[in-house]
Amino acid sequence: PVLLHTCTMLSAHVRFKSTLMASALGKYEDDEEPPESNHGSSGDEADGHAEEPLTTPSGRQGDGTNASVGPFACSVCDRIFPCQGSLDVHALSHAGGKAFPCSVCGKNFSKKSNLVSHVRIHTGEKPFSCSACGKGFAQKISLVAHERTHTGEKPFTCSVCAKSFFHKPNMVAHRKTHTGEKPYGCSVCGATFFRKESMASHARTHTGEKPFACPLCGKSFSHKPNMVAHRKTHTGEKPFACGVCAKTFTHKANMALHMRTHSGEKPFACSLCGKRFTQKAHMESHSRTHAGEKALACSLCSESFVHPSHLSAHLRTHGGQ
């Protein structure tokens, strides 16, 4: 059975049947919905089977006409739609209806627009370009988020401490640091994480999987940011510039560390004496002086050192090895 709604606000006929929606993927261009269809020319009617009323995922029985004029509210999430056809398309997302499969990897989507966006992962197409630096993106939302790195806009604010972020997922993950919530657990070692992405990244330390390969030399990495950082060693690209002295850096983290030389910020304090440091590694190295710990051992002799610089100097006494 097929349900046909005529949406007076969208002037389009929308058919609902998962098999038809799936096959439509190969028939239509990249518009949001299939084009208008002819009453009396559907496959069901041509076979002599009249359309029967069908209860949609939104809970409404279809009779082929508009019984009333919108707005229409989703019974699951209360979202409002201008016509019944739009509501029924939306309702498929609640019912698990994912009628648009990717022909490359088989992943399914409830909306064709989401499939079109996903396919760019396979094709490498990046139609959205930053007007400031020319960097391309597969999705418009990614471009909008990137543009904030140029403008400095941070529209997402933590409701607990008022810290602001460029990206909403980063703010949501940060907010969990206040509650201590770590809902994502590793099935191998039990380590827990604020973000699902962090857990997935961690899981690769167990599997040894390195899915991110440098397109220039083929070297593979477990984490995409590491591959992106490595790739810049080939190009010499240093896209992160200090706003005070204009010194440029390959990595954003290095630029942030450098900025502390201007601001005087020293966020890492020794828990024993209170001495503060610009970098966590420097604080940890200092802390070992209290414990008398010499964790850095020479691989050529029995000497051990507190500071990496001392170990490096010592290694030169072995003939520059």
Span 268-318: which CATH code? 3.30.160.60
Per residue in 216-253, pLDDT tens? 899 998 888 888 888 888 888 888 888 889 889 888 88
3-state class of 267 per DSSP? Answer: coil
Instruction: Tell me the backbone φ, ψ of residue 74, rounded to 5 degrees.
Output: -70, 130
The pLDDT assigned to 217 comes to 93
Spatial separation of the C-alpha atoms in residues 12 and 17, rounded to whole Å: 16
Question: Per-residue DSSP letters for 22-73?
Answer: HHHTTTS-S-SS-----TT-SHHHHTT------B-TTS-B--SS-SS-S-EE
**In the chain, where the domains are located:** 3-109, 268-318
Mean pLDDT, each 10-residue run in order, the chain (321 residues): 41 36 37 37 35 40 50 81 79 68 84 86 89 89 88 90 88 86 88 86 88 89 86 85 87 86 88 86 80 74 79 80 49
Spatial separation of the C-alpha atoms in residues 227 and 235, rounded to whole Å: 13
Q: Provide the sign of the torsion angle of the four alpha carbons 143, 144, 147, 149, taken in this order.
A: negative
Tell me which DSSP letter residue 58 carries. T
The pLDDT assigned to 66 comes to 45
Spatial separation of the C-alpha atoms in residues 39 and 155, rounded to whole Å: 48
User: Token digits for 203?
Assistant: 């899981």
The pLDDT assigned to 32 comes to 38
Spatial separation of the C-alpha atoms in residues 282 and 306, rounded to whole Å: 11
The pLDDT assigned to 128 comes to 92
The H or E element containing residue 204 is helix 196-207
Do the strands 268-269 and 276-277 form a parallel or antiparallel pair, or are they unpaired?
Answer: antiparallel
